[in-house]
Structure 1
Amino acid sequence: MDNNAYEAVKLTQELIRIPSHKYVENRESNVAEFIYDYCGKRGLEVEFQEVEGLRRNVIAKLKGNGTGRNLIFNGHTDTVPPYEMTIEPFSGEIKDGYVLGRGANDMKGALACMITAMLNIKNKGKILGGDIIFTAAVGEEEKSDGTEYLVKGGITADGAIVGEPANYGYALGHRGLEWLEIRIEGKAAHGGIPELGINAISKAAKLIQKIEEELIPKLKERQNEWMGPSVMNFGLIKGGTQPSTVADSCIIQIDRRYLPEENVKSVIKEYQDIIDQLMRGDSEFKAEIIRMDSNLMEEFDHAPLIAQPDSKIARTVYKVLKDFNKKEPNIEKRRGWTDAGVLSTYGKIPTVVTGPGDLKYSHAKDEKIPLVDLVNYVEIYTRIAEEFCK
C-alpha cells in the first residue's frame, strides 16, 4: 500500500473515531474542526461556513491557474446514530480487509478519499487549470441544511461529484424525496358500543385501499431513463389507544420518491384529491395531509438529481471509471436521495454521484468499507480532477 493510499485509510479511521450523529452535542462540530485542521496543516485553503451555531461546513480549495474548469467534491460529515450495531461503532478497526465503524461507508471513507486525492495532486507539484473545491457538509442524513447553505452562499462550479457509495458505478440522476403524514380523525367510544364512535383506523384502511387502487398504478406508469419509476411507500401507521376504545385518530406516514416532471405541490395534490373523494362519499371521513417536519429543508425541497448525461462531468466520470475498471461502469438508476439533488436543481451545477463502498453497507449494524475501495478511489478521484480541471 503506497503512502497516499495509507493516508486515506488512516484518515477514514480517524474520522470514524469522531462521532457526528444527531445525538452528539453540537453534532458534526468536532469532526468539522478535525477536517479543518487536517486540510489547513497540509497547505489547502480552508474555511468554515456557519450553518447552525457550532455546526459548520468545511470548504477546502486547491487552486488552479484559472484556465480550466472548477470541480466540487461534496460529502457529508454527519452519520446516522449507531443504534444496535454489532460492532464497536467508533473504533475504526481494520478487520478482514475492511475498515469498520459508523460512517465508514456513508460517508467518511469518501471524505478521506477526496481530501487525499487533492493532497495527492498538490504533492505532485501539479497545478491544474481549474480549482478543486472540497465541501464537507453537515446534515445530509436529515434536512440537508449543509449543502443548502453551500448553494445559498453562492457556491458555483462547472461540475460536482457527490461521494456516496456506488460500488465502482455512478448515478446521473435520482428521484426527489418527500415525507408526508395523513392524519385521520375519528370519534372515541367504548368498545362495547362501537356504533357510537367513528373508527379512524377503519377510515385509514379505506384510504390506503383507495391509494393502492387509484394512485399506485399511475406511479408505476411514470418512468425516467435515469431514475426508474415514481414510487411511494406506506412506512408507518399508528392509531388508537387500546383495544376496548374506538380509535379516535390514526396517522399514516408516507415516503414518496418523485420524478423531475413532478413536484411537491403535484405530489400532495394527488393524495388530497383521494381524500376529497372519500370525504364527498362519506360524511364521517375527515383527514388532513401535512409535510413532515423531520424532512423539511429550510427553503428548498429534496429535489431530484437532474440527469445531464452529455455534461463534461458525466463524460469524465464515465471515461475514468471505464478505464479504471477496464469495463463499462454500471449506471445506478434506483438509488436513494443525496445532496446531489440540491447541487443540481438549486445550484444548477451538473452533478454525478460516485464514491467508495457499496450502498448495502450504509446504515448497517456492521457498517464497513473495503480497504481496496479507499485505495482505488483516491486514484479515481485524482484522475477525475486531473481530466476535468485541465
Structure 2
Amino acid sequence: MHAGDNLRPNLDRMIADLTTLTAFDTQNPPGREAPCAEFIAAQLEAVGFTVTLDRFEAHGLPDRVNVAARLENGPGPVFAFNTHMDVVPVGEGWSRPPLTLAEADGKLFARGACDAKGPLAAMLEALRLLAAQREAWSGTLLGVFVADEEVGSAGARRLAEQAPKIDLAIIGEPTSNRTIIAHKGSLRPIVRVKGTAAHSASPQLGVNAIFQTARLLPRIEALGEEIAARPPHPLVGGGSLTVTRANAGLADNMVPDQMELMLDRRMIPGEDEASATAEIEALLVAAREELGVEAEIVRFAPTTGGAAETLPDHPLVAAGRAAGRRHGAGEDDAPLGFSGACDLVHFRTLGAQGIVIGPGSIGVAHKPDEFVPIDEFEASARIYADVVLEMMPRA
C-alpha cells in the first residue's frame, strides 16, 4: 500500500475550483490576476497556510500579483508547487463561452482548462489533502502561483529576485501527467538597422534602411543554419534563430531611416541568454565592418526566459515518474523534454530541483475549445500529493 492511498481528491470540489478559476478573466495582456490571487489565498488560508500576496506592475500594467502560501510542518526540505494564473487571449473560433467551464465527453472546456488553471486547481486540492494529513510528511510546503508567465514571466522573475529557499518544485503545465525534466528557452532581441531619411523622389540622397536590412538578413539566416546544425539536446532537440517581425517606414513618400527586426532565438539546456546575445552582437559587428550595415540590439521583447533541465537520475524525477505510472500517465522508459518554455528555469536559478507535470495536452493549449480530460485532472492531484509524500517522508 502506498502512503498516498489515504489521500483522496474531492473531484466535485476540484471542478468547482476550476469553474471559479476559469471565470476570472486573466487574459494576458493585461493579466489582471489580482481577483484570482485573492481567491487562491482564501482557499489556502482556510486550511492553515500563511499566505502573502505580492502586488506589482509588469510591462506597464497594474494589478499583477504573486501568491506565496506556506505551511511549515517540521524539519525537512522546502517543496513548492508552482503554476501561473494568467492565460493567453481567448481569440476566435470557440463553440462555447470560453470563460465558463463546460463539461462534455469526459472533458472540461474553458480558456485555461489545461494551461494552466487545471494544474492550478489540482495543486490546490493536493495542498488541501496534505494539510489535512500532516502526520504523513515533514518539511515546508509552498504554493507559489505567479502572474505573467504567458508574456514575460514577470512573476517568476520577481520571485527569483526575492531568492526564497526552495529545494524541490513541481511546475504545473499540460504534460498529460507525464514527467518533464527539460525545456527550451527563448530570447527575442529587437535589432534596429540604421539608414538616412530622404524624399522618395530623390532616394539617392538617403540610405534606405530596408535595403540595408536586406544585406543583413543573409547573415542572420546563415547563423540560424549554423545553430540548427549544432548537436541537439537529447530531450528538447536543437536551438534555432529566425526573424519573426519586421517594421520600417514613417510615410509613403519617405526613404526609411530605420528598420526594426524581431529575432527569435530558441535556446537549449547548456546555452544561456548572455552567450546567445553575444553571438548576435558579433554578427552585427561583422556586418558593420564588412558590409557597412549599421545595426544594433536596442531592446529585448518579453519572454518566459532561458532553458533549463533537471538531471534524470535525481530522486524527484523518479518520484514523479513513479506517481505518474501509479495514476495512469503511462510513463515510458525515459523522462521527457518540453519544446516550449516555462517557469522551471526560474526555480532552477534559485537552486531548486524541479520537474514539470500537469493534466491536459500542450496540443490543445492556446487553441479554441481548450480542455482538460477529467480523469487526468483528478489523477494530477494524486500525483502531486504522492510526490510530496515520497520526497518529504516523516522520519
Structure 1 residues 339-390: Cα deviation after superposition (integer angstroms, max 9, x where no partner): 110000x200011111111112222232222222211111111211211211
Q: Distance in 2 between matches of 1:179 and 1:166?
A: 25
d(CA) in 1 for partners of 2:9, 2:308? 35
* TM-score for the superposition, normalised by structure 2: 0.87
Matched, 1:80 2:85: no
The correspondence for 2:255, drawn from 219, 223, 246, is 246
* Larger strand share, 1 or 2: 2
**Residues 268 and 47 of structure 1: CA distance in aligned 2, closer, same or farther (over 3 Å):** closer
TM-score normalized with structure 1 length: 0.88
Question: Is 1:287 aligned to residue 295 of structure 2?
Answer: yes
Alignment partner of 1:370 out of 369, 373, 379: 373
From 33, 36, 41, the counterpart of 1:36: 41
Residue matched to 1:20: 26
8 Å contact from structure 1 (residues 226, 307) kept in 2: no
Tell me if structure 1 keeps the 8 A contact 2:83–2:146.
Answer: yes
Say if 1:174 and 1:337, in contact at 8 Å, map to a contact too: yes
Shift of 1:114: 0.6
Alignment CA distance shift 1:329-1:33 (3 Å): farther
Q: CA–CA distance in 2 between the matches of 1:226 and 1:137?
A: 26
User: Measured at CA, do residues 362 and 160 of structure 1 come closer, stay the same or move farther in structure 2, by a change above 3 Å?
Assistant: same
**Structure 2 letter corresponding to 1:19:** D
- How many Å apart are 1:135 and its aligned residue? 0.8
- The alpha-carbon distance between structure 1 residues 152 and 200, as it changes in their structure 2 partners (threshold 3 A), is closer
Aligned with residue 307 of structure 2, among 304, 314, 328: 304
Question: Please, which of 199, 209, 225 is the counterpart of residue 200 of structure 1?
Answer: 209
1:234-285 deviation digits (Å, cap 9, x = unpaired): 11112234665433322110111223433323212222222222222333x2
Q: Which residue of 1 aligns with 2:345?
A: 341
Partners in 2 of 1:118 and 1:214 — Cα distance?
47
Task: State the shift of 1:321 in Å.
Answer: 1.7
Separation (CA, whole Å) in 2 of partners of 1:372 and 1:91 = 20
Matched residue SS, 1:79: coil
Structure-2 separation of matches of 1:111 and 1:353: 13
Instruction: Please state how far the C-alpha of 1:178 moved relative to its aligned partner.
Output: 1.2
- The partner residue of 1:10 within 16, 34, 37 is 16
- Classify the secondary structure of the residue corresponding to 1:228: coil
Task: Show the 5 A alignment for 1:125-136.
Answer: 126-136=135-145
Give the SS at the match of 1:250.
strand
Structure 2 runs not aligned, ≥5 long:
1-7
Residue identity opposite 1:323 in structure 2:
R
Checking the alignment, whether the CA contact within 8 Å between 1:65 and 1:127 is kept in structure 2 is no
1:176–1:337 CA contact under 8 A, matched in 2: yes
2:388 is equivalent to residue 380 of structure 1 = no
Alignment CA distance shift 1:302-1:111 (3 Å):
same
Deviation, 1:214, is 3.8
1:42-121 equivalences in 2 (<5 Å): 42-52=47-57, 54-66=63-75, 68-84=76-92, 86=94, 87-121=96-130
- Provide, for residues 179-223 of structure 1, a one-character-per-residue CA deviation record: whole Å limited to 9, x for no partner: 101111223445454444322222222222112124432343142
**RMSD, matched Cα:** 2.5
C-alpha separation between the residues in 2 aligned to 1:9 and 1:193? 67
Letter in 2 for 1:341: V
- Looking at structure 2, the residues matched to 377 and 134 of structure 1 have their Cα atoms a distance apart, in angstroms, of 15
Does the residue aligned with 2:229 lie in a helix, a strand or coil?
helix
Displacement of 1:163: 0.5
> Is the Cα contact below 8 Å between 2:316 and 2:355 reproduced in 1?
yes
Contact 2:320 2:387 in 1 (8 A): yes
Alignment of 1:296-335 (within 5 A): 302-325=305-328, 326-328=330-332, 331-335=335-339
Partner of 2:4: none
